[in-house]
Amino acid sequence: MNSWLRQHRYALAVTLRRLAGQPFSSLSNLLVMGLALALPLLGSAILISVQPVARELSVTPELTVYMRVDAAPGAAERVAAQIRAEHAQQIEDVRVIKREEALAALRNNPAWSASLAVLPENPLPDAVVATLRTGDDLATRADTLAATWRKLDQVDVVQLDSAWVQRLEALLRFARIGLLFLAACVAVVVLATVFNTVRMQALSQREEIAVARLVGATESFVRRPFLYLGAVTGAVAGLVAIALASILLQPLNSALVGLARSYGATFTLHMPPASLLILAVVGAAALGALSARWSVTRNTRF
């Protein structure tokens, strides 16, 4: 056990000496990787910050069931009761708006009062307004319910204005897919950077590696410092990315203050939770070690 720990301490010390021995190259690689890793962090910060605001908005669609004008008295109440009984798990609230109430509301509106005054009778039907429960895929569920309720007795029209809900869901879905694609591109950048760094290190120390093999060094002993080089580079680049993302959020939040005030709201971007940041650092270190493993396997065959 002591021998194993001593070998890993030696490999880590060699890695740190190699990084310190080439400060310009090391800092350049860390800056490039840090900037690349900061992009998905900023994207996730924006997405995580926007989602609570989107949930605070009234994204739950309301379906309005209009009865026929000549529907029998009490038909709207029966339809509302049927909706409550058959779709209780999907419905948050159901209310009936009588035609008299709707007409009175329109008459209170100056834009409609003059037009309604010349009508001999009430042209409005009774209506049932149903509010869906919150959950995933609201637009699809609303479309399904609307198609079902159109078949109910004495129902004329079911109005569903869910286009904006569909646009919101599509936008968030697009953002998630775009963020995953961006993370994949960043992973390729990290792999390529670490691969090239380890390749140059291996080629520059070709003679040293050959001598070590002659005196009995194992392949694990030869490759271990390079694996630590990849892992340390990836982990430090992840920390640099977190610092850069935190710095870049400051001017973004300053610019958002005026925009949010114009809508009478407060909105700020904030970094992802600590668990996600730790996962990002660990993932960057794992990518660095994987790329170093691949590179050192290919470039130390001599």
Select from 185, 182, 195 the least CA-distant residue to 29. Answer: 195
223, burial (CB in 10 Å: exposed 0-12, middle 13-18, buried 19+):
buried
Digit-coded pLDDT (tens) for 219-236: 676 678 878 888 888 888
Residue 154: pLDDT over 70: yes
Rounded to whole angstroms, the Cα distance separating 113 from 103 reads 10
Return the pLDDT at 208. Answer: 66
Q: CA 5, 6, 9, 13: dihedral to nearest 10 degrees? A: -170
Average pLDDT rounded to a whole number, residues 38-44: 84
Q: How many residues make up the chain in this entry?
A: 302
Give the model's confidence band at 302: pLDDT under 50 very low, under 70 low, under 90 confident, else very high.
Answer: very low
Look-up: residue for tokens 């140059």?
Answer: 200
Give the model's confidence band at 187: pLDDT under 50 very low, under 70 low, under 90 confident, else very high.
Answer: confident
When the pLDDT of each residue in the chain is averaged and rounded to a whole number, the result is: 77
In CATH, the architecture of 62-161 is: 2-Layer Sandwich (3.30)
Whether 284 contacts 190, CB under 8 Å: yes
67, burial (CB in 10 Å: exposed 0-12, middle 13-18, buried 19+):
buried
Whether 127 contacts 97, CB under 8 Å: yes
Rounded to whole angstroms, the Cα distance separating 13 from 153 reads 80
Digit-coded pLDDT (tens) for 68-106: 888 888 888 999 898 888 888 888 889 898 888 877 877
Return the pLDDT at 164. Answer: 59
Stretch among 76-85, 147-156, 190-199, 287-296 having the lowest mean pLDDT: 190-199
Whether 107 contacts 36, CB under 8 Å: no
Domain ranges, ordered by start, for the chain = 2-56+167-299, 62-161
Rounded to whole angstroms, the Cα distance separating 274 from 260 reads 26
Average pLDDT rounded to a whole number, residues 192-221: 69
